[in-house]
Amino acid sequence: MSNRNNIDIGRNIKMIEFLKCELLNSIAILFDTLTKGAKQGKDTVIEVLANIIMVTYSLGKRLGLDYREIDKKVQEMAKLHMLEEHHLEKWYGDLSSLNQYLKNREK
């Protein structure tokens, strides 16, 4: 194995570790923001949630997954939970809404 391959593998491992830490940090910030309530505001929550989604996609990419694979699995899980009458679906219809959103994104 060439030195270049070792550098690429090492850099990829380092990035995976960074993304894992970033994900945990973002979740901690989200929880902290939610405990503070309305003081932090909608913009902060949107920013943190967007970062969690971005980091999750990036981590998947570094692990060799395609963005569409992740979307497809989310859609499959939403459909399954809809059939199982998960509380998010039963009470709010959130999973149907998410499923429809993902379908529209495919177009």
64-97 pLDDT per residue, tens: 999 999 999 999 999 999 999 999 999 999 999 9
Q: Do 55 and 35 lie in a common domain?
A: yes
Q: Do 14 and 50 lie in a common domain?
A: yes
Tell me how many domains the chain contains: 2
The residues, ordered by sequence, that sit 6+ positions from 23 with a Cβ below 8 Å of its Cβ are: 52, 55, 56, 59
Domain residue limits at 58: 1-65
Q: Do 70 and 89 lie in a common domain?
A: yes
Taking the model in full, what pTM does it have?
0.85
Please check the confidence at residue 28 and state whether its pLDDT lies above 90. Answer: yes
Cβ proximity of 23 and 52 under 8 Å: yes
Please check the confidence at residue 3 and state whether its pLDDT lies above 90. Answer: no
Q: How confident is the model at residue 2 (pLDDT cuts 50, 70, 90)?
A: low
Q: Do 31 and 82 lie in a common domain?
A: no
